[in-house]
Amino acid sequence: MAGITPEFIEWRTMDDADGLFGFDDNRLPQPANPPPKISVQPSFIRLAEAVLCHSDPTRFALLYRLLFRLFHSHGLLNMATDRDVAAARQLAKSVGRDYHKMTAFVRFKEIPLAEGKVGRRRFVAWFEPDHFIVARVAPFFQRRFTDMDWLIATPKGSASWDGDELKVNDDPAPRPDLRDEIDDLWRTYYASIFNPARLKVKMMMAEMPKKYWKNLPEAELIPGMIAKAEADVLEMAVKQASEPLPFHHRIQEAAARVPTQPLPAVGTLAAVSEAARSCTRCDIHCLATQTVFGEGPANADVMVVGEQPGDHEDLAGRPFVGPAGTLFDEALKLAGIERDRLYVTNAVKHFKYQPRGKRRIHQKPNMGEVRQCRWWLRQELELVKPKLIIAMGATALFALTDMRQKLADVRSEPIAMEEGKTLFVTVHPSYLLRIVDEDLKEKEIARFREDFASVKRLM
Ligand code: URA
């Protein structure tokens, strides 16, 4: 309320603020008299409530900075590319994840009532959250376990419920001794729902990260069950003869190809493209017919980035030559842009799909695959040095910026990037192909075309 700009404020948490006690309050700048009325939009309050739970000590400074900036720029929170907004959203997201994990991994142990005593059943649990989420999650447990008394102890505070009052305390709680036969119950339950044929270790580890294992009685079964499941799957694979893929000869050809021309000079786009032909950085290459590298002038001012080659592109070895490419070409033509002035490429250079009968069904590349393939995209960016980059779809946006926000938040506006480059985001043409409602499809195609009209102006 005294209008102090963020850079003049140093934030400390109580743990490290000892030296501040005894600080002379009178030296603090006083708010204007009468103090200004401060109002702020509800979306900031919601965001701040989540961010404040994070254990990052910079959260107060970040929120104050955001709040301060909000007074001058009311639409700030909608600017997903803003550094502070993105950082706050990221913190809120990890608080959300921690919240979810706590609701899933708290294991209550019953504390038996004293002999002859009657009353509500009592339970205790120990959990180790990453963030200060106990107060935030407590109402969830109150709703869920309303007919029992419980205490959840954590190193970041505790919560308890006795049927009347939900109490939350910020003090670190001591770890209770919780060994008892309920562990066996959990283990039996977990073993009985475990299906080795459905085992996806990566997904399981993402859902139930190792750090939670020590407080989950069932977790000690996991390594054994994984080992056994792998053995079972291997055995099944050995027994099952599989047919070669109908286009396997193309894979063989690509692998055996001996260059007939002299190798291109090192450090050129042609050399990188040649090297990418034998890329095995991720598993997608196993199924794809060939690497589909970017194409276009090596000094193009504009680079267009899609997601990954589709069925047609995989067979042709060129980007955007299938149905999505047709939509893309039409938009370019209407905007008056010649495709051969652009460098057109994809975030991922191999076609990822699932064989279904004779069809190959497109599968979205995961973030790990996109990160692996970024190795090629970065080299393309470095060598082509485009001034304007068009990201078509969320995968391209992520590959180029690491951002995972809604396209709607960043679409159709030029965004300044490092080295004076400009980024322009639009939807992926395959999204347009998937729209069922005809009216909506028409509208969305028109918007896509308008985006390319904007691209033309930017060019
Ligand atoms: N979709 C893409 O993202 N890229 C292509 O090359 C084709 C379809």
Q: How far is CA 100 from the centre of its chain?
A: 15
Give me ligand 1 centre to Cα 113, in Å: 65
The verdict on residue 49 lying in a domain is: yes
Render pLDDT for 381-398 as a digit per residue (tens, 0 to 9). Answer: 999 999 999 999 999 999
φ, ψ dihedrals at 375, nearest 5°: -55, -40
Mutating to test ligand 1, I would choose from 303, 350, 428 the residue with most ligand atoms within 8 A of its C-beta, which is 428
Instruction: Determine contact, residues 190/218, Cβ cutoff 8 Å.
Output: yes
Identify the weakest region by mean pLDDT among 108-122, 146-160, 206-220: 206-220
Domain with 142, as residue range(s), is 106-112+119-169
Residues 145 and 194 in one domain: no
Whether residue 253 is predicted with pLDDT greater than 90 in this model: the reply is no
Q: What is the mean pLDDT of residues 45-56?
A: 96
Residues 226 and 130 in one domain: no
Residues 143 and 190 in one domain: no
Q: What is the mean pLDDT of residues 45-68?
A: 96
Q: What is the mean pLDDT of residues 343-360?
A: 91
Indicate which atom in ligand 1 lies nearest the CA of residue 396: 3
Residues 200 and 347 in one domain: no
The verdict on residue 242 lying in a domain is: no
Give me ligand 1 centre to Cα 400, in Å: 16
Give me ligand 1 centre to Cα 207, in Å: 31
Whether residue 241 is predicted with pLDDT greater than 60 in this model: the reply is no
Residue 386: C-alpha distances to residues 296, 344, 349 (Å):
11, 11, 19
Residues 401 and 437 in one domain: yes
Cα 27 to Cα 78: distance, rounded to the nearest angstrom:
37
Higher pLDDT, 448 or 245: 448
> Does the CA dihedral 172-174-179-181 come out positive or negative?
negative
Residues 207 and 339 in one domain: no
Number of structural domains found in the chain: 4
Q: What is the mean pLDDT of residues 61-79?
A: 91
Residues 332 and 217 in one domain: no
Best CA proximity match to 142, nearest among 128, 155, 160, 129: 160
The verdict on residue 385 lying in a domain is: yes
Whether residue 122 is predicted with pLDDT greater than 80 in this model: the reply is yes
Q: What is the mean pLDDT of residues 138-147?
A: 92
Q: Which of helix, strand or coil describes residue 169? A: strand
Q: What is the mean pLDDT of residues 362-390?
A: 95
What pLDDT sits at residue 223? 73
- With pLDDT > 70 as the criterion, what percentage of the chain qualifies? 84
Q: What is the DSSP letter of 283?
A: G
Q: Which of helix, strand or coil describes residue 160? A: strand
Instruction: Determine contact, residues 263/416, Cβ cutoff 8 Å.
Output: no
Residues 201 and 333 in one domain: no
Give me ligand 1 centre to Cα 129, in Å: 41
CB atoms within 10 A of CB 367: 13
Give me ligand 1 centre to Cα 134, in Å: 45
**Mind giving me the DSSP string for 394-411?**
HHHHHHHH-----HHHHB
**Mind giving me the DSSP string for 147-215?**
TSEEEEEETTEEEEE-SS-EEEE-SPPPPPP--STHHHHHHHHHHHH--GGG--HHHHHHHS-GGGGGG
Mutating to test ligand 1, I would choose from 307, 327, 329, 343 the residue with most ligand atoms within 8 A of its C-beta, which is 307
Indicate which atom in ligand 1 lies nearest the CA of residue 319: 6
Indicate which atom in ligand 1 lies nearest the CA of residue 318: 6
Residues 322 and 362 in one domain: yes
- pTM strictly above 0.85: no
Render pLDDT for 163-214 as a digit per residue (tens, 0 to 9). Answer: 999 999 988 988 887 766 666 666 666 666 666 666 676 777 777 777 777 7
CATH number at residue 402: 3.40.470.10
What pLDDT sits at residue 252? 58
Residue carrying the six token digits 């391209």: 396
Exposure string over 191-211, b if 16+ CB within 10 A, otherwise e: eeebeeeebeeeeeeeebeee
Residues 300 and 188 in one domain: no
The verdict on residue 246 lying in a domain is: no
The verdict on residue 83 lying in a domain is: yes
Residues with CB under 6 A from ligand 1: 306-310, 313, 319-320, 322, 324-325, 346, 430
Identify the weakest region by mean pLDDT among 102-116, 123-137, 291-305, 418-432: 102-116
The verdict on residue 252 lying in a domain is: no
Cα 424 to Cα 409: distance, rounded to the nearest angstrom:
12
What pLDDT sits at residue 206? 74
Mutating to test ligand 1, I would choose from 346, 351, 361, 398 the residue with most ligand atoms within 8 A of its C-beta, which is 346
The verdict on residue 259 lying in a domain is: no
Identify the weakest region by mean pLDDT among 161-175, 250-264, 296-310, 318-332: 250-264
Indicate which atom in ligand 1 lies nearest the CA of residue 307: 3
Q: Helices marked H in 2-132 — which ranges?
A: 42-51, 59-70, 83-105
What pLDDT sits at residue 265? 67
The verdict on residue 194 lying in a domain is: yes
Q: What is the band of 68 on the pLDDT scale with cuts at 50, 70, 90?
A: very high
Taking each continuous run of H as one helix and of E as one strand, the counts in the chain are: 16, 12
Indicate which atom in ligand 1 lies nearest the CA of residue 322: 7
Render pLDDT for 275-289 as a digit per residue (tens, 0 to 9). Answer: 998 888 888 888 888
Give me ligand 1 centre to Cα 270, in Å: 21
Residues 211 and 308 in one domain: no
What pLDDT sits at residue 98? 95
Helix (H), strand (E) at residue 334: helix 323-335
Whether residue 257 is predicted with pLDDT greater than 90 in this model: the reply is no
Residues 28 and 60 in one domain: yes
Listed residues 237, 257, 280: the one ending a domain: 237
